[in-house]
Structure 1
Amino acid sequence: MKVIILIFVGIIGLGACSKENNPPAQPPSGDGITKVDDMVYRYMSQNSVPGATLAVSRNGKLVYTKAYGFADRESGERMNVNTRSRISSISKTVTAIAIMKLMEEGKLNLDDKIFGTGALLGNDFGTQPYKTHITSLTVKHCLSHHVGGWGNASNDPTMRNPSMDATQLISDIINNVPLSNAPGTSYAYSNVGFMILGRVIEKISGKSYEQYVKDEILSPIGITTMEIGGNTLADQKTNESKYHNTSAYTGNFARRDANGGWIATATDLVRLFVRIDGSATVPDILQNTTLQTMTTPPFNYQNYALGITLNGSTWSHGGSYSGSRSHWLRTGSGFVAAIMVNGDANANNLQTLLENIVAASVEWPNEDLFK
């Protein structure tokens, strides 16, 4: 009789762990690294997030990587540390790195005009004569979200006309969405500015935006799994998470390339951003003076520099798209970390989670997982 009862209880227990109805079990609270896992699982539970990936480096060493929950809740496929996810607007930091590299090579200046005769893109986009303020737009304006309009706050222009590619869309925006202010006068977060910078990179390099970044930024530091994502579930890449929102697959994600189109692992992001952290522990891929420029606000708005958000000595950027959220940060105390989730979680809370992780009283492993 005892055996029968135990078997019955075991069956009930297995049923209670059904992947369709329950999040993965939370680890017990405690000291050490379990604090980190507990914080992540708690966030997932509170925000109904199926899966997450995390990577943390300290003083140039990759000290922790972890995957949580499901890459695909319906199929039961688990997240692993090699699962790739959409990084969305973290792509802006990637694009800013590429622009700063071109600047170091003397191929552009931050004050270069973008549109009009003699400018970086000349008259390749839109219809001439250009409307007010278009020919005043510079690289610096785009990098710092001081475009003079085309902001995300009410009606992001990059979401219009999904059948167009990036080149067609930029021309459409120039012709039909007037700038409301002179560039450089006010901050307004803008996907359009970084979409334009992708075309600047292509014009100067003679390569596609994606190929230039792979060849000149990613491959030299050993990153081989970052690429531009696809639009639909059928376009899902190898080892890419599923995004648990049907609208995640209804837009033109791929054309967001320079402003929000990359997919990556959390480790990819940390491997990249330790190379621009201003620390001597791992050689940076940009010069110190370039990093100072990149992390100094060029206009009155003090919380955003060039592709990087600022909060004291912490540099960071977040990313949001339907069905995914992401965040990376670099602290003055030697941490670089990244986290990504495959659900519509609160982005501000994800930032807070990552800040709390690196601030936690944890004895981090000493092994360098980069090696």
Structure 2
Amino acid sequence: MLSRRNLLKAGAATVALGLQPARAEAALLASGVVPTQLASFDKTVQKYMTERNISCGQLAVARNGKLLVARGYGVYRPNTTTTTLARVQPTSLFRIASLSKSITSAAILRLAQDGKLSLTSPITTLLGLSATADPRLEKVTLWRLMQHTGGWDRNVSKDPLWLDATISASLDAPLPVSHADIVKYVTAKPLDFEPGSKMSYSNYGYMLLGRVVEKVSGQSYESYVKSKLLAPLGIDRMGLGESLRADMSPSEVEYSSKYTNKSVVDTSGEVVPYPYGGFNMPNQDANGGWLASAVDTVRWAGAFDKAGTVLNATSISRAFAKPEIGVSGDGWWYGCGWYVRTAGSGLNTWHTGSMPGTFTLLVRTSAGVTWCVQFNRREEEGSPDFDVIDRLMWQAHDAVTSWPTTDLYPKYL
């Protein structure tokens, strides 16, 4: 723990904590390990955070199954009775937002691997949904949900995962609305396009996949993922997040946003900071609800590097398979929880995550290098471009001339 006096001496960026931002040339207070050969990654993240006044961040880099970099940046106020500040550790928890989608797809692929379901099964059969409002709903299969070709377009019909008040009023259901309420609201409306005719990113589709995991496995979505996917990899810190700060673990960082919203987790009508009750975090579970450290995020990504106890070769190939609508004009496609692009004889795969108070990036390269960055703030009106982090991280990667061979995973079990 650090006192505010010592923190200010350290020159850390602490905008979210109400302190003065660091000078551009000041180094962020950091924890963890970075070998000198990989200093380009560390410098890139520190500069990126300082320029954007991001108070909490993480970086992890792995290569060929070995963890090479594990860093935490900045400080936060932990959810404890103490008023002292804590350093962000390599094992601190962040909301990872849509990086969660690779987890949910893997759960579906694992159920198929174990013979529990067929990926061509329609969602109507699996969840007992009525297609009265639109017969095309019967064409929405698990494949199409995982590859975002199910028929929902958030540019046409607003994303129902963020329509709590509207759904509550429409169904005369009290806040907080449930998964069942969201499904009832959406199922009563027609699809936005013919299933399989185009790709349109759908959080709702992934929320449905989470319900399939529960229905088929007989377990909660979180319990199934932990037991079948995470535990075999030695990951025990990850879990689903909560909406309110009072319910969060002391190891979970604070989230920063200049925006507010009326609470959607109760009927008080109170205006709250957007990251804390302005949206319903438990409802995001299968599409964006996981908490993780960057260390465990890259460890999770390693499940796709080779067939093992979690996913076999068939499941891994399915995760990166081209959808029926082909590839984009830029050569990428959406597999199952991953964006995918051919790179030489292999594949580069990646995903970003974004919600109020959260921005994340996970990249797997065809050369066996994986990196993850996680931040407690996303781009908002008036702030510098956040998406540039992808290009900057590739530049940091290309600056490496030799790779260390030590493995930090044992240090961060």
TM category, shorter: 0.7 to 0.9
Aligned to 1:33, the other structure's residue is in SS state: helix
Matched, 1:369 2:408: yes
Q: 1:154 to 1:136 in 2, by over 3 A?
A: closer
Paired AA for residue 290 in structure 1:
S
* CA shift digits 1:234-263 (9 cap, x unpaired): 222230010012211111011110000000
Distance in 1 of aligned mates of 2:92 and 2:59: 11
| SS of residue in 2 equivalent to 1:57 | strand
Pairing of 1:168-207 with structure 2 (within 5 A) = 168-175=181-188, 177-207=189-219
Alpha-carbon offset, residue 111 of structure 1: 0.9
Output one character per residue of 1:130-181: Cα deviation in whole Å (capped at 9) or x when no partner: 4232222110110000011243677212111252111221111111x42121
Task: Output the CA distance in 2 between the equivalents of 1:170 and 1:150.
Answer: 15
1:164 match: 177
Q: TM-score, normalised by structure 2?
A: 0.78
What do residues 96-148 of structure 1 show as CA deviations (whole Å, max 9, x unaligned)?
11111011111111111111xxx11124xxx6634232222110110000011
Secondary structure of the residue aligned to 1:257 is helix
Partner residue of 1:108 out of 111, 117, 133:
117
Residue 14 to residue 103, structure 1, CA distance change in 2 (3 Å): closer
Of the three residues 277, 280, 285, the one matched with 1:252 is 280
Deviation at 1:33, TM superposition (A): 3.0
Could you say which residue in structure 2 is the equivalent of 1:26?
27
Q: Aligned equivalents of 1:35 and 1:46: distance in 2?
A: 17
> Does the Cα contact within 8 Å between 1:229 and 1:236 map onto a contact in 2?
yes
Aligned residue in 2 for 1:146 = 149
Deviation track 1:75-114 (CA, whole Å, cap 9, x = no partner) reads 6432111110000001100001111101111111111111
Aligned residue in 2 for 1:91: 100
- Alignment correspondent of 1:295: 320
Comparing 351-360 with 55-64, which one deviates more in the overlay?
351-360
Out of 37, 53, 57, which is 2:58 matched to? 53
1:3 maps to which residue? Answer: none
Q: 1:155 matched to which residue of 2?
A: 158
Compared CA separation, residues 17 and 256, structure 1 to 2 (3 A): closer
* Kept after mapping to 2: 8 A contact 1:152/1:189: no
Once the two structures are TM-superposed, the CA of residue 265 in structure 1 deviates from its matched residue by 0.5
1:215 to 1:136, Cα distance in 2 relative to 1, 3 A: same
- Quick one: which amino acid aligns to residue 369 of structure 1? L
Give the secondary structure class of the aligned counterpart of 1:32.
Answer: helix
2:246 counterpart of 1:216: no
Aligned-partner SS, 1:184: coil
Q: Secondary structure at the match of 2:123?
A: coil
Q: Relative to structure 1, is the Cα distance of residues 342 and 180 closer, same or farther in structure 2, using a 3 angstrom cutoff? A: same
Aligned to 2:377: 343
Is 2:126 aligned against 1:120?
Answer: yes
Amino acid at match of 1:216: K
Structure with larger Rg:
1
1:309 paired to 2:339: yes
Offset, 1:361: 1.5
User: Structure 1 residues 193 and 292 mapped into 2: Cα distance closer, same or farther (>3 Å)?
Assistant: same
**In 1, Cα distance between the equivalents of 2:144 and 2:10?**
56
More moved, 65-74 vs 285-294: 65-74
Taking the aligned partners of 1:153 and 1:359, their CA distance within structure 2 comes to 40
Residue of structure 2 equivalent to 1:286? 311
* Contact 1:143 1:194 (8 Å CA) reproduced: yes
Q: Given that residues 309 and 316 in structure 1 are in contact (C-alpha distance below 8 angstroms), is that contact kept between their aligned partners in structure 2?
A: yes
Which letter maps to 2:224? Y
- Aligned partner of 1:7 in structure 2 is none
Root-mean-square deviation over aligned CA pairs: 2.5
The two structures have a TM-score, normalised by structure 1, of 0.87
The letter of the residue matching 1:198 is G
* Aligned amino acid, residue 140 of structure 2: L
AA aligned opposite 2:73: Y
- 1:191–1:18: structure 2 CA closer, same or farther, 3 Å change rule? closer
Q: What are structure 2's unaligned runs of at least 5 residues?
A: 1-5, 29-34, 166-175, 258-272, 328-332, 380-384
Q: Report the Cα offset of residue 59 of structure 1.
A: 0.9
CA contact (8 A) 1:23 1:69 kept: no
User: Shift of residue 268 of structure 1?
Assistant: 0.9
Answer yes or no: is 1:356 the counterpart of 2:356.
Answer: no
- Return the offset for 1:357: 3.3
CA distance in 2, matches of 1:51, 1:161: 29
Checking the alignment, whether the CA contact within 8 Å between 2:44 and 2:393 is kept in structure 1 is no
Letter in 1 for 2:374: M
SS at match of 1:45: helix
Report the number of matched residues: 348
Contact kept, 8 Å, 1:277 with 1:284, in 2: the verdict is: no
The equivalent residue for 1:273 is 301
2:80 pairs with 1:80: no
Instruction: State whether structure 2 residue 361 is matched by structure 1 residue 327.
Output: yes
Q: Which amino acid aligns with 1:307?
A: G
